[in-house]
Amino acid sequence: MRLDVITIFPDYLAPLDLSLIGKARRDRLIDLHVHDLRDFTHDRHRTVDDTPYGGGAGMVMRPEPWGEALDHVLAAGAADDASAAVPHLLVPGPSGVPFTQAMARRLALEPWLAFACGRYEGIDERVYDEARRHLPVTSVSLGDYVLNGGEVAVLAMVEAIARLVPGVVGNAESLVEESHEDGLLEYPVYTKPAEWRGHPVPEVLLSGHHGKVARWRRDERLRRTAERRPDMLAALGEDGLDAADHEVLRRFRAERPAVAD
Ligand code: ADE
């Protein structure tokens, strides 16, 4: 998978040299290219922003450097791999569609992604209009809060996407039973020692009884999801839960009437 990131802070992306993603790059599973937007300016001050038409607070990113940077990314990608079509351009920002595990799964199947990191009040809208003539473009938000720029969001998205690329995570099984993979949050986990500072590990986990362990884990996933993310349980609907699940939830709710349906 090829990834291109355009930013005025290339150093922000340095953590992508570390850990599993760093190893995936060294193993050539991920081909990451970070581009400095200021390299596509032509004035002495390497200016990337200007005041907004219509007035208002803050500055807007000028279209010309973005146009040149995107042209460069398209040409560089095509030169490296003649079979590459065009990248899917992702633009992080608080006005985007929510970034989810389902979206990460879909994006992990794509051969080429490009990320445009905006700063200030955003990028001149004509950059999107122009890019859409050549590429799929999606504005994506990590959540309902405002970051100073897209770089931190790109770190999060690249990590979520790249770990789903085959070979990046050694034990593919560890990807299956995760929060957000099947509509329930993960169960709590424990390791040795069996008792620590007066806290014992739940006995069922020491029983060696696989059926009971599986049921306990499912119950804990249901309980957590009901407590922390009632919206996810509602989205799962009737079909995602069996009779035993419903009984467990009924008991949790009876114990804790404050938990929403
Ligand atoms: N840039 C600024 N805020 C953001 C958010 N919530 N998600 C993604 N990118 C952002």
- Please, what are the averages of pLDDT over each run of 10 residues along the chain (261 residues)? 97 93 94 97 98 96 98 93 87 97 96 94 97 97 96 97 92 74 93 98 97 97 96 88 94 77 52
Per-residue pLDDT at 258: 62
- Ligand 1, pocket-test mutation among 12, 140, 141, 148, most atoms within 8 A of CB: 141
Task: Determine if the peptide bond prior to 65 is cis (ω within 30°).
Answer: no
Per-residue pLDDT at 19: 87
Ligand 1 centroid vs 99 CA: distance in angstroms? 10
Residue 217 CB partners (closer than 8 Å, separation 6+):
187
Decide: 127 and 37 in contact? Cβ < 8 Å: no
Pocket of ligand 1 (CB under 6 A): 92-94, 141-143, 145-147, 150, 153
Decide: 232 and 183 in contact? Cβ < 8 Å: yes
Ligand 1 centroid vs 126 CA: distance in angstroms? 20
Per-residue pLDDT at 257: 66
**CA angle in degrees (0–180, nearest 5) for 151-175-167:** 75
Nearest Cα residue to 65 out of 86, 42, 88: 42
- Ligand 1, pocket-test mutation among 8, 61, 142, 152, most atoms within 8 A of CB: 142
DSSP three-state, residue 151: helix
**CA angle in degrees (0–180, nearest 5) for 16-11-156:** 40
Per-residue pLDDT at 83: 72
Per-residue pLDDT at 142: 98
Q: Which atom of ligand 1 has the smallest separation from the CA of 146?
A: 3
Per-residue pLDDT at 254: 93
Taking the CA atoms of residue 102, residue 108, residue 112 and residue 117 in that order, the dihedral angle to the nearest 10 degrees is 60
- Ligand 1, pocket-test mutation among 147, 152, 158, most atoms within 8 A of CB: 147
Per-residue pLDDT at 180: 82
> How far is residue 251 CA from its own chain's centroid?
34
What residue's CA is closest to ligand 1, atom 1? Answer: 93
What's the rounded Cα separation, in Å, for the pair 188 and 239? 24
What's the rounded Cα separation, in Å, for the pair 46 and 73? 19
Ligand 1 centroid vs 202 CA: distance in angstroms? 40
Tell me the whole-structure pTM to 2 decimals.
Answer: 0.92
